[in-house]
Structure 1
Amino acid sequence: MKFHLLGDKTKIEIDILSREYPNSFDYWDGNWLVSNVKIEIPGYYVDFNASLRTDDIRDFVNELKLMNRNLSGKAILKNLDSFIHFECEIDRLGQIDWSGETCYPAGSGAVLNFTFISNQSYLHDLIKELEDIIHAFPVIGNP
């Protein structure tokens, strides 16, 4: 299952492959997901595997929904292991300013920082993709 962050000359595709610990029902272990991150921006192509968490994806989609409804605010997709960090902020005209950072290998590898612009028209599909992922990989347990 994939979700996409799209913008001016930018394509980010994150493919959620499976739970990292499929037999765990513990909040801390059971919510890790195996994913593949692909980023295409002018001059760079990034492709690596990363561990993400269902609760981070859930929080991100909830922030995107508020941002889309109010035409204001921010949404952040962060990662405990620092593989990825994406932030976006929308203005009243529907323009979305994104900033992104990737690090691979996590914590000690090459770091890529970049920005791009998109608009509100991309949010509907992104929110739907993320909701489908949360439906397939719901958050397990409580902290």
Structure 2
Amino acid sequence: MQQIAFGGEKHERLEISVAGYERAASGDYHDDNWLRVNVSIAAGAFRGSFSATFQAAELFDLCTDLSRLHETLSGRVRFETLEDQLSLEFIGNGRGSIELQGEALDQSGIGNKLIFAIQLDQTQLHQSLQSLRVAVAAFPVRT
């Protein structure tokens, strides 16, 4: 299992744990690239977790985009999953502070919604990016 975390150690934290591919490779691009994940959020007084599926390409694109944000510390990066269970926006102020704004649905399309925000600094973003790179290497996009 590969863990990607944004924020603090216990509080104000988003964790994405990638358990593996949903199924064995069959030669179909979309079917081959579904990942089983668990999402945990601690934001203010709210705590929760839910299971979801993400496409491997979604994590790869997030890694690419966050790498650019980490270099400049300025701008916006959006992450949205095909199933709409997690959408994130990272907003860099150019001085080392990044705001992570997110929306999570516990079930695709019909679930309960949590809207949250987590403050990050460039050091935390660096650590998150490192764990994201490890996860992307462990579960690459299958072609």
Shorter-chain-normalised TM-score: which range?
Answer: over 0.9
Per the normalisation by structure 1, the TM-score is: 0.92
Runs of 4+ in structure 1 deviating by more than 4 angstroms, as ranges, are none
Q: Which runs of 5+ in 2 are unaligned?
A: none
- CA deviations 1:29-88 (Å, max 9, x no partner) are 111100111111112111110001110101111111101112212222210001101110
Residue number among 65, 69, 72 corresponding to 1:70 in the alignment: 72
Q: Would the aligned equivalents of 1:7 and 1:117 in 2 still touch at CA under 8 Å?
A: no
Partner of 2:42: 40
Residue number among 109, 112, 134 corresponding to 2:111 in the alignment: 109
Q: Which runs of 5+ in 1 are unaligned?
A: none
Distance in structure 2 (CA, Å) of the matches to 1:106 and 1:122? 29
Work out the percentage of aligned pairs sharing the same amino acid. 28
Partner of 2:120: 118
CA shift at 1:21, angstroms? 1.6
Aligned length: 141
CA shift at 1:134, angstroms? 1.0
Partner of 1:6: 7
Q: Over the residues paired in the alignment, what is the CA RMSD in angstroms?
A: 1.4
Q: Would the aligned equivalents of 1:3 and 1:14 in 2 still touch at CA under 8 Å?
A: yes
